[in-house]
Chains A and B, each alone.
Chain A
């Protein structure tokens, strides 16, 4: 029996585990930190709470904040370090098929390569909830001679490393990863960007969600502005949970 099961290996999950003294378990369907970095969400960091300042200062001390921008991949590495140092319980490559409310908490049905199993907990915190997609972009890390700015159907913003940019392509909410990738490559071939060179495409979408109503707690980190904000929200919820 866990005190809390946190769905999603996110900054909000890291914040929750930092704030909570309970027996927690993070379920991640991937092996990576699931928000910001894999979607190439390049954000300007800001903090509003003491916990936020601690994580902000940590990133700064590690030398991975440049003009307010965070190095997403380097920050992800720091999250793994934090998880290891604090010995958080994490199960990677674990998918959730059902969360059911019981008299004493919840049961969570999970699937991974060990098969299906039922986990029990007092509280569930979903940081990657389902819901209606309000906005969806497919991002890529590129180099280009086109200036940063908003263009017809896409946006170019500065990335963490000098000379690198994030290409954000707005796509239909129902578009699949395959459709998005094919459309992005077509855009690069279209001549709309000056001398574009693709470094990497995202492995997650950047999204804004209207979350489904569920009986358990939800912290949709996809709706936050930056990883510190997600961490802060998670931390506060973890602190209250005890």
Chain B
């Protein structure tokens, strides 16, 4: 849309005042820029201040928000209700208050209950936007827009290409409808479960999902029975993933899980692979190979490429938070709050630097990088994982450790030969034997198949499915029963599907018969028996089948 006259002008407009947007707005205002933050809700900080209090996961906060965090913790100790220990001393209300206070002190302007309806461009450069506030439309000119909406909505309104979800079936990570409760000790806490998948680009589907999730938000009385008093349905939905922009660069599963380097790194992220997946079976092989190593809870440190924050085909638009070009496979640790805060501060630094130098963001990477190093948002020398470093020094002993520590397997797959791993199969140390069988399977060697079968779990089915050339089809098919646990069922389904795609006729015919049935998937148990979720799963598996086979 072309526009020449505006009602007002800001140097930076931050769209979305949530987990990434609030830090972006505060950091930009702190640098003395004229900043407007546009937020559909009525407070700053998003899930981080409105719902989920602590950070859970991720390494210590650095950058300007380390100081702000200390202030929040100190404020939290004053006139606020008690908090659970895992809240890391942070009360959500103290965070709202400090964020707003800081932002106002820096001269920032915030418009609540407001939504962006149009983006104005000129010669492929953003020059302003139209905002609906209090029922009235206002046209605002700007030098930079930071799109910190959780769905890259500004990119979408600007008509830029978008992407969503995993390749297999287009699904994102599960969302949660959260309730805020006070427990019997008077502590404020949040309760939630993973409610399922929803594609926010379909407002009707999204709205149905919201109604359904909150209707069952007490989980059929389960929380009330624990003496949790529900004091508020959270004002925002706990979305872990949505649509994202198509950047000049993308951060992929290969970058995260195989530790392949990125070009022009800009900020450091760390966290575990916090999946929230009902059906990890439908994830890519890259993700599943990683999960088979039992690395789901291990913290990895990665670098996000500059280009993931710069949408392709337009100038003056910077993405932060979930709207960055982070592919589904790589999102699980990146989306954690501290990383989102870093993305917000980084986006502000890009705008600040670009305005200061008068150059396009693409042309001032070096200055941005230096500033982010100075602010301790980017650590060029950070290593991917202390655990991996340790495992590489003595792979055999790392492989001898029990579950939830899979760096041994990860290191073995990358450095050891199959012959060495085969020797471990005869070991009397059970973890070593088991982990060697897993590593061999990941290398495509079936020498440890008998040991995998003894495990009889998702790993068995996934790994035998990977190795299967027809010889394990019947074994895998035995798990496709209604009384099988859902996750195992889904892995068996995916394993046979993989076989069918490779030409395993038996696997294909088993699946063909199965998907004809209306409700073939086992009941999905997630903090209660949710029949709808189970029906959804059958439909999803059917869709997965159709997409894969056709």
A: residues with CB less than 8 A from B are: 29-33, 37-38, 71-74, 76-77, 80-81, 83-84, 90-97, 111-116, 130, 141-143, 161, 163-164, 176-178, 181-182, 185, 188-189, 196-201, 203-204
B41 to A77, Cβ gap below 8 A? no
Specify which of B93, B203, B214 is in contact with A113 (CB 8 Å cutoff): B203
Q: Quick check: is B527 within 8 A (CB to CB) of the other chain?
A: no
Specify which of B100, B201, B214 is in contact with A181 (CB 8 Å cutoff): B100
With contact pairs A91-B207, A181-B97 given, residues A77 and B230 touching in the complex (Cβ less than 8 Å): yes
Residues of B within 8 A of A95 (CB): 40, 115, 132
B132 to A111, Cβ gap below 8 A? yes
Known: A114-B201, A177-B112, A181-B97. 7 other contacts (CB 8 A): A31-B214, A97-B117, A113-B203, A177-B42, A197-B81, A198-B91, A203-B235
B207 to A77, Cβ gap below 8 A? no
B201 to A203, Cβ gap below 8 A? no
B217 to A77, Cβ gap below 8 A? yes
| Size class of the contact patch on chain B | 35 or more
Residues of B within 8 A of A77 (CB): 179, 214-215, 217-218, 230, 233
Q: Quick check: is B200 within 8 A (CB to CB) of the other chain?
A: yes
B207 to A92, Cβ gap below 8 A? yes
Work out how many contacts link A and B, with CB atoms closer than 8 A. Answer: 153
Residues of A within 8 A of B100 (CB): 178, 181-182
Nearest Cβ distance between residue B15 and chain A, in whole angstroms? 12
Residues of B within 8 A of A203 (CB): 41-43, 50, 235
B203 to A91, Cβ gap below 8 A? yes
B79 to A30, Cβ gap below 8 A? no
Binds A, one of B150-158, B478-486, B542-550: B150-158
A29 to B93, Cβ gap below 8 A? no
Q: Quick check: is B104 within 8 A (CB to CB) of the other chain?
A: yes
Residue of B nearest to A144 (CB): B79
Q: List 17 A-B contacts (CB under 8 A).
A: A30-B235, A31-B235, A71-B230, A73-B232, A76-B214, A77-B179, A77-B233, A80-B212, A91-B207, A94-B203, A114-B202, A142-B81, A182-B101, A188-B79, A198-B79, A199-B81, A201-B93
Nearest Cβ distance between residue A140 and chain B, in whole angstroms? 8
A93 to B203, Cβ gap below 8 A? yes
Q: Quick check: is B513 within 8 A (CB to CB) of the other chain?
A: no
Contact flags B34-49 to A (C-beta < 8 A → 1, else 0):
0000001111000000
Residues of B within 8 A of A196 (CB): 79
A90 to B211, Cβ gap below 8 A? yes
Contact flags B66-81 to A (C-beta < 8 A → 1, else 0):
0000000000001111
Residue of A nearest to B217 (CB): A77
Nearest Cβ distance between residue A10 and chain B, in whole angstroms? 14
Q: Identify which of residues 257-301 in chain B touch chain A, using a CB-to-CB cut-off of 8 Å.
A: none
Binds A, one of B163-171, B180-188, B248-256: B180-188
Give the distance in Å from the alpha carbon of A141 to the alpha carbon of B92 in the complex: 13
Give the distance in Å from the alpha carbon of A187 to the alpha carbon of B97 in the complex: 13
B231 to A141, Cβ gap below 8 A? yes
B40 to A93, Cβ gap below 8 A? yes
A199 to B203, Cβ gap below 8 A? no
Nearest Cβ distance between residue B213 and chain A, in whole angstroms? 8
Q: Quick check: is B364 within 8 A (CB to CB) of the other chain?
A: no
Give the distance in Å from the alpha carbon of A45 to the alpha carbon of B202 in the complex: 37
B230 to A178, Cβ gap below 8 A? no
Specify which of A81, A198, A200, A204 is in contact with B231 (CB 8 Å cutoff): A200
With contact pairs A94-B203, A161-B229, A203-B41 given, residues A32 and B80 touching in the complex (Cβ less than 8 Å): no
Q: Identify which of residues 168-214 in chain B touch chain A, using a CB-to-CB cut-off of 8 Å.
A: 179-180, 182, 186, 188, 200-204, 206-207, 210-212, 214
Nearest Cβ distance between residue B137 and chain A, in whole angstroms? 6
Give the distance in Å from the alpha carbon of A84 to the alpha carbon of B212 in the complex: 6
A185 to B236, Cβ gap below 8 A? no
With contact pairs A161-B231, A197-B81, A199-B188 given, residues A73 and B179 touching in the complex (Cβ less than 8 Å): yes
Specify which of A80, A93, A178, A200 is in contact with B214 (CB 8 Å cutoff): A80
Give the distance in Å from the alpha carbon of A143 to the alpha carbon of B93 in the complex: 14
B215 to A80, Cβ gap below 8 A? yes
Most chain A beta carbons < 10 A, residue from B115, B179, B204:
B115
A74 to B93, Cβ gap below 8 A? no
B235 to A198, Cβ gap below 8 A? no
Residues of A within 8 A of B104 (CB): 178, 182
B157 to A115, Cβ gap below 8 A? yes
Residues of B within 8 A of A32 (CB): 214, 233, 235
A113 to B117, Cβ gap below 8 A? no
Give the distance in Å from the alpha carbon of A177 to the alpha carbon of B43 in the complex: 8
Specify which of A84, A94, A161, A198 is in contact with B93 (CB 8 Å cutoff): A198
Give the distance in Å from the alpha carbon of A1 to the alpha carbon of B97 in the complex: 44
Residues of A within 8 A of B204 (CB): 91
Residue of A nearest to B152 (CB): A113
Give the distance in Å from the alpha carbon of A95 to the alpha carbon of B214 in the complex: 21
A176 to B96, Cβ gap below 8 A? no
Give the distance in Å from the alpha carbon of A115 to the alpha carbon of B80 in the complex: 40
Residue of A nearest to B202 (CB): A114
Most chain A beta carbons < 10 A, residue from B40, B112, B202:
B40
Nearest Cβ distance between residue B86 and chain A, in whole angstroms? 18
Residues of A within 8 A of B81 (CB): 142-143, 197-199
Q: Quick check: is B113 within 8 A (CB to CB) of the other chain?
A: yes
Residues of A within 8 A of B92 (CB): 200
Residues of B within 8 A of A116 (CB): 117
Q: Quick check: is B528 within 8 A (CB to CB) of the other chain?
A: no
With contact pairs A177-B43, A203-B235 given, residues A74 and B203 touching in the complex (Cβ less than 8 Å): no
Give the distance in Å from the alpha carbon of A33 to the alpha carbon of B230 in the complex: 15
Residue of A nearest to B79 (CB): A188
B182 to A84, Cβ gap below 8 A? no
Nearest Cβ distance between residue A194 and chain B, in whole angstroms? 12
Residues of A within 8 A of B215 (CB): 77, 80-81, 83-84
